[in-house]
Structure formats: C-alpha cells, structure tokens
Structure 1
Amino acid sequence: MTKNLALSLALAGLFASTVHAQSTAQPKDKAGDGDARVAMCIGCHSIPGYQASFPQVYKVPMISGQGQKYIEAALQAYKKGDRKHPTMHSVAASLSDQDIAFVAAHYAQLAPSEAAPVPDTPAAAPADVAALLNKGACVSCHGANFSKPIDPSYPKVAGQYPDYLFASLKAYRTEHNASVGRNNAIMGGIVKQFSNAELKAIADYVGSLPGELHTVPQSRFR
C-alpha cells in the first residue's frame, strides 16, 4: 500500500466518522420517524390533550416549538433529580447528553404549518392578575408576551396548558416528596409569595395567551 493510498483511506474513514456523529446529533427530518429517542416521547407529547394521571393529574405539556435549550435543561434536571417525576426521570436517565440534544432539537423545530405568528404584546391582563404578574416579575424572564424568554434555557409559557402550568408552579415549592418537586432557587422564591388561588390565576391567564407551543401528532398518531 502506497503512502498516498493509506492517507486517502484514513481521511475517508475520518470523514465517515464525522458524518455519522453529526447525523446522530441532529434530527434527520421534521417527524423523526423511526428514531427510538423520539419514540419514547410520542406516546404522551404527540397526542393532543393527553392527560397524565401520575403523580398528578394534568395535561402533559406541549413541547413542539419550545426552545431547544430549555428542553435540554428540563431533561437534564429530570435526569439528575432536580425535577421529580418518576416517568420523566426514567426516560431522561436512559438518554446520553447527545441523545438529549437530539430530542430537544427535534421538538424545538416541530410546528404545524398553519401556526400563526405570536404578537409581541398580549392583551392586557385583568387588574388583579396584572398585580400578581408584577409582584412575581414574570415578564422580566419570560418576556412581555411570555413567549420570548430572555435566556434560551428559560421556557416559553404563553399558551401552555393552564393545569400543567399550575402544577408546575406548585412543584417549585413542594418539599420532601419523592415524586413531585422542582429544585430551582429563583422560581422557588417567587412562588412562595403566592397562594394556590393566586398561582392558578396566573396559570389561567398565561395559558390563555397566544403562543408558539403546539402538540404535533407524529407517525402512528396521525
């Protein structure tokens, strides 16, 4: 074997390895059909209005159109136990960091073709709710329309299911529970200022807003 031939073969092998690594880090298409990592999510997050029954009853969140960095951060939190949810922990724990990036990228770019643009500012909140939002400084992180967070690792929340938002807010102040709870110092400090009724009012308003979040049926659910 000549030196030139050996070098060509080595470069070809390196190129093939690079292409394979890139293909496993990003979705191959919008549907992600046949990928086992996405298949684990379809059974809950690709059925419109699907409702969880354990450990709490609420509609599972819409994640299509959610920010990629937020989805990654959420899955890492479930994996590490900073967010408590038995099913989500099992799913996230089975994923490598590269797998998590793949799933997050897939859902971040998944949206229905007829999705309408979200206004920069929503309709004004009722006075009592506006006071609660101001007290929690919610727009300072989630944006004036609750769909343009100031940091990509923060969630879009406009239009999310209100019952899920309510359960999530309560989870930030839940302690000593093996199945429910979220460890986040900022959100924990914020929600402790409010009663359950006030948190529900916030969740109902934010959930009523137009947003970029969707449930997009995939493959076997179409």
Structure 2
Amino acid sequence: MFTVLKWFAMLWFCLSAVLSQAQDLQAGKVTAATCVACHGEDGNAVIPGYPSLAGQTWRYIYIQLKDYKEGRRSHPIMTAMASGLSRDDMVNVANHFARFPLKPNGFVADEAKVKLGKAKADETLCTMCHLGGFSGQNEIPRVAGQQYDYVVDQLRNFKARTRTNDAGNMTSVAQTLSDTDIENLGHYISSIR
C-alpha cells in the first residue's frame, strides 16, 4: 500500500510541476503581448535597433528587465514597460522569449568589415565571456546574429558610459574601441549565424 501511495504522490508532484510550468508560459505569453511590437511575436525583432530576445537565456532577459525596473539600465520605452512588472511577470516573460530560437536577422554585412570585426573580437577576447560562437551564457547575452543597429548602439553606450549595468567588463573593453572598430564589430557579430 505504501508503494502505491508513494507512486501516486510522485505522479501528482510531476503533474503539478508540468501544469505550473504550462500556466507560467501562458502567463508569460499574455504579459509579453505588449512586447511583440518591437521584439517580435517569437522574440525575433522586426525593427532595426531593437534587440531580438529569442536565443537569450531566461536569466539574461530577467536581469535586463529587473535593471530597467530598478533604474540600473535606462531606455525611455523599456524603463516605462518594466516599471509595472512584478518579479513573476519578469520571470514569465523571460521564460516565454527564451524558449524561441534566434532566426537569421536579414542583415547584409560588408565582408571586409566582417573580417576586421572578427580580428578585433579576437584581439579583445570577446569569447572569454560571450563564449565561442558568441552564444552567451547565464547573464552574459548571446550577441551572435543580433540586430546590427542594436549591437552598434550598445557598444557606443558602453563606451560613453551611458550603459553600465554590467560588472564593468563591457565598459572597460568599449573604451579601447574606435568608432570604426564598433562598426566593424557590428558587422561581424550581426553576421554570425
């Protein structure tokens, strides 16, 4: 009898976890409905200058939302969007977008700039944090295949110290980059599939 009860308890626990996750994904989809105009229905941004969220870890997306809400990162639209989100909302939205794969962004890169960008990326050791293939990890973003305008804008923001919601690594690296380096890195990073 004990074994049967134990089996039912384990089954109930597993079913509860699956149902809870399904509810959280549905809640994330509902909350994310306001995000799709800029970031795309499946997290693949359709507007240049806005980041694709698909392919990011849920943890990275969550931390960025939290940073917008708590004032560690600033953007006129995103700060307002995040201000009304609860912790659960942010976790659910992050999980919603993180489950989608990144699609090719359609950016046509200049091959000469790609080559120069790759050389600069190798020189500055970008893959130490962003990993090989620029796939990201935990709270380090995937930058491979990201929107060109967004990559360039964020590198400029780090260089100007108007974006500082990292451990200081990107700000330090960006100080060494010229405007041409930033443009070349944008071509390289955005062209990685």
TM-score bracket, normalised by the shorter chain, equals: 0.7 to 0.9
Partner residue of 1:131 out of 115, 119, 138: 119
AA aligned to 2:25 is P
In the TM superposition, what is the alpha-carbon distance from 1:77 to its structure 2 partner?
Answer: 1.4
- What TM-score, normalized to structure 1? 0.66
Are residue 95 (structure 1) and residue 85 (structure 2) matched? Answer: yes
In the TM superposition, what is the alpha-carbon distance from 1:76 to its structure 2 partner?
Answer: 1.2
AA aligned to 2:192 is L
Identity %: 27
Contact 1:25 1:98 in 2 (8 A): no
Are residue 163 (structure 1) and residue 112 (structure 2) matched? Answer: no
The equivalent residue for 2:39 is 45
Partner residue of 2:130 out of 121, 129, 142: 142
The equivalent residue for 1:5 is none
Contact 1:27 1:102 in 2 (8 A): yes
Output aligned runs, 1:1-222, within 5 Å.
22=20, 26-28=24-26, 32=29, 35=30, 37-46=31-40, 50-51=46-47, 58-111=48-101, 126=115, 128-147=116-135, 149=136, 151-175=137-161, 181-184=163-166, 185-210=168-193
Q: 1:75-124: per-residue Cα shift (whole Å, max 9, x none)?
A: 11111222110110011111111110000000011248xx69xxxxxxxx
Answer 1 or 2: higher relative contact order, Cα 8 Å, separation at least 6. 1
Contact 2:38 2:45 in 1 (8 A): no
* Equivalent-residue separation in structure 1 for 2:97 and 2:141 (angstroms): 13
List runs of 5+ in structure 2 lacking aligned partners: 1-12, 105-113
* Equivalent-residue separation in structure 1 for 2:154 and 2:181 (angstroms): 14
Larger radius of gyration: 1
In the TM superposition, what is the alpha-carbon distance from 1:65 to its structure 2 partner?
Answer: 2.6
Q: 1:26-82: per-residue Cα shift (whole Å, max 9, x none)?
A: 2139x92xx1x111201211176643xxxxxx4311112321111011111111222
* Equivalent-residue separation in structure 2 for 1:101 and 1:83 (angstroms): 18
RMSD: 2.8
Structure having the larger proportion of residues in helix = 2
